[in-house]
């Protein structure tokens, strides 16, 4: 029963992280949208697929890195007791917002239609730090109330 509750919690955490990462990815896609039919097709068909793949890869990496938090009970209690995951979520979101700060914007050379164009892009370091920090913190947040609720639900369901 404990394993089933743990897997359910992991599935819920993964779904929330996947949804958040997809929303963030699609916001970046919309901010980069230049117009035109080809851009519309790319933004509506191909970019969600790429975003889903990147989100799944990120979730897998963050799950592997965070295995000690899941497997070592004292570390898990320390992580949840001091709300480190909430702090990590706030830092990740802050990094993503600050990536668009005009003083943090970077220049990138892009070739479109055989013409070299210089584009302003958000700070790659802050975007990556925010992306992984947010994903890691969502995947390894353990709200005690929700965990107890799910475990009690499984006790009731399996006792019948």
SS3 letters for the chain?
Answer: CHHHHHHHHHHHHHHHHHHHHHHHHHHHHHHHCCCCHHHHHHHHHHHHHHHHHHHHHHHHHHHHHCHHHHHCHHHHHHHHHCCHHHHHHHHHHHHHHHCCCCCCCEEEEEEECCEEEEEEECCHHHHHHHHHHHHHHHHCCCCHHHHHHHHHHHHHHHHC
Q: What is the pLDDT of residues 141-151, one digit of tens each?
A: 877 677 777 77
What is the residue range of 155's domain? 2-159
- Please report the pLDDT score of residue 1 as a whole number: 63
Mean pLDDT of 32-60: 86
pTM, full prediction: 0.83
Domains contained in the chain, number: 1
């Amino acid at each position: 029963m404990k394993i089933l509750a743990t897997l359910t919690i992991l599935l819920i955490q993964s779904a929330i992280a996947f949804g958040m990462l997809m929303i963030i990815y699609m916001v970046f896609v919309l901010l980069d949208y230049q117009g035109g039919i080809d851009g519309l097709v790319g933004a509506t068909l191909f970019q969600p697929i790429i975003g889903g793949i990147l989100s799944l890869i990120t979730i897998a990496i963050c799950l592997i890195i965070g295995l000690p938090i899941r497997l070592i009970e004292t570390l898990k209690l320390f992580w949840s007791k001091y709300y480190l995951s909430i702090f990590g979520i706030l830092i990740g979101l802050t990094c993503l917002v600050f990536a668009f700060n005009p003083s943090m914007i970077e220049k990138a050379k892009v070739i479109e239609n055989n013409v070299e164009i210089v584009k302003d892009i958000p700070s790659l370091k802050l975007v990556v730090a925010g992306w992984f920090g947010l994903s890691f913190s969502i995947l390894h947040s353990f709200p005690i109330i929700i965990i107890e609720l799910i475990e009690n639900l499984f006790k009731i369901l399996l006792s019948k």
